[in-house]
Amino acid sequence: MDRYTLLLVDDEEEVIQIIMKKIAWEEIGFSVIGHANNGVKALEMVEEYQPDVVITDIKMPYMDGMELAKRMKADYPDIKILFFTGFDEFEYAREAIHLEVEEYILKPLNAMELTEIFKKLKTKLDQEISEKRNAEILQKYYMESLPLLQVNFYSTLIEGKLGEEEIPKYLSDYQISFTGPYYCCLVIHTSLSQNEDHMSPQLLITSVQKQAEERLEEKWHAKSFSYLGNTVLLAQLADRKEVSELTDECDRFCKYASRIIGAVVTIGIGPVCENICELSESYSGAREAVSYRVLYGASRAINMQEIAPKEITRQGFSNDTELSNLFKMIRLSSQEDILEAADAYLQKLSSPEKSMQQHHVAVMELVSALYRFGANQDIAVEEFCGDIGSLYGKLMEMEPEMLGKWLKQISLVFQEKIIHARYQSTNSFIVQAKEYVKNHYDEEDLSLDRVCQELGVSNSYFSTIFKKEEGTSFIGYLTDYRMEKASRMLVETKEKSYIIARQVGYTDANYFSYVFKRRFGVSPSKYRTEYAKQ
């Protein structure tokens, strides 16, 4: 990497300015992406920018440096952390060592010493990334992939070719531990067309697989292997609800892969199942989820159970390649692609080599497939096509040109219905979240995690749709809602500021004042004075 990103955290603006101006950051390979004056703000910036390095004071309001470091190590273990403080106490140093902090620097800061520290840190970062990108090491990882017998078992399992009675023997013979009690399949897709570093495709995929194994395997007791150009993970969960946490971790991994390896990674997450035999269905759902990157974007995790409507793939709705492709275009592509796919199917349907009996069978299959597809997408086909028998009779009477027009028209109707259903589901999440805020904004522990748990969705999916629809993050919306409530109370009541702070979810009156001033530009007391006169 040319430059590593750095976030500065200190409640003394003067210290921040000195650090920014006294050090030639770009010359030593770093770029300051911003600064925060407290741990709460710093954590928000870490979530948004995911810097390579954070240098932070220890003693700060609202959230001190130790708590900030603990939070970062839990969710972003690869970020390098440096402490600087005027408190030369052994307990701080010992805690910093426990948190695997890179350096413990005492104030007042010395520009030369700080420059040397960051030069050494740059060398360390270069070495770590070099190891992850080094072709020889990646080749070694590739050759040391899972033993062939285990990979063959996993592949056969997701293909649905194993009987339930056969599985225990394979697990025993191949020393594979599958204790569940719940299972979930992940498909990790690495884009080769967006390989900016022009690394060998196989080495790029291997690099992503190795990093995925390191970051996801242990916690989720996952089995990983390569299959059809993707990395597949078979994860084990203690509870069905853990899939939301798994989705969030996968989403963070996609962003990590983009930043560190330079790879565009999408992770599809299939439905959770209770039986190992059902992993083939979970795999189908995960693979389908990956294809939805054309709608929801790459470099993220896509959980099929969160996409609305419930578009989890059901196998066998059509054995016709052209018809299957048409249905895929209806779900994922533009009107132009749908019409092109319809033409391809119609060309095959109207082949002059077919007998009349074969044509009747083909039309019957088309009608059945349309109704199954509609049922899978929660579309009431009967509302605009009538019952299945009447539709079959109607299509049998149509000439090829009329049949073609009808199929194209109905395909576009299906697309419109699916888009509307997705919007309704997304809008429902937003409405529920806003209603929850309205009823619980006065509770201090109201958070993104709590709302997502209430809605039963992952943080990453909810955050994406909320910001897309509302133009702001959920935390930003919650803060604005609380501030609006507080501003009204200041004008309409005579309650003291610390009482109002508690009534809108802030137990720390000083932090409430800080947030209020950031929102309105004046302190609560001055706001009351100015607006009480009007």
Over residues 477-488, the pLDDT tens digits come to 999 999 999 999
Q: What angle do CA 354, 355, 359 make, to 5 degrees?
A: 75
Q: Rounded to whole angstroms, how far apart are CA atoms 367 and 389? A: 9
Beta strands per DSSP E along 169-316: 182-190, 223-227, 230-237, 265-269, 301-303
For residue 278, pLDDT over 60 is answered with: yes
Q: Rounded to whole angstroms, how far apart are CA atoms 282 and 276? A: 10
User: What integer pLDDT is reported at residue 533 of this predicted model?
Assistant: 58
CATH 1.10.1740.10 fits 441-532, yes or no: no
Higher-pLDDT residue of 136 and 168 is: 168
Can you tell me whether residue 350 is helix, strand or coil?
Answer: coil
For residue 446, pLDDT over 60 is answered with: yes
14 HSE (CA, 13 A, CB side): 3
How does 342-371 read in b/e, with b if 16+ C-beta sit within 10 Å? bebbbeebeeeeeeeeeeeebbeebbebbb
> What mean pLDDT is predicted for residues 39-44?
92
- Tell me the backbone φ, ψ of residue 391, rounded to 5 degrees: -65, -40
Q: How many other C-beta atoms can be found within 10 angstroms of the C-beta atom of residue 5?
A: 18
The total number of residues written for the chain in this structure: 534
CATH 3.40.50.800 fits 4-133, yes or no: no
For residue 250, pLDDT over 80 is answered with: yes
Q: What is the pTM of this model?
A: 0.60
- Tell me the chain's radius of gyration from C-alpha atoms: 28
For residue 135, pLDDT over 70 is answered with: no
List of residues 6+ apart from 125 with CB closer than 8 A? 1, 4, 52, 53, 80
Task: Please report, for the chain, the start and end positions of each structural domain, with discontinuous segments joined by +.
Answer: 4-133, 146-303, 321-413, 441-532
- Tell me the backbone φ, ψ of residue 24, rounded to 5 degrees: -85, 75
Q: Rounded to whole angstroms, how far apart are CA atoms 501 and 489? A: 10
| 370: Cα separation from own chain's centroid | 32
List of residues 6+ apart from 442 with CB closer than 8 A? 502, 503, 504, 505
The answer to whether 231 and 285 have CB atoms below 8 angstroms apart is no
For residue 147, pLDDT over 80 is answered with: no
Higher-pLDDT residue of 344 and 193 is: 344
The CATH homologous superfamily for domain 146-303 is Reverse transcriptase/Diguanylate cyclase domain (3.30.70.270)
92-125 pLDDT tens trace: 656 666 677 777 777 777 888 889 999 999 999 9
Q: How many other C-beta atoms can be found within 10 angstroms of the C-beta atom of residue 444?
A: 11
For residue 9, pLDDT over 90 is answered with: yes
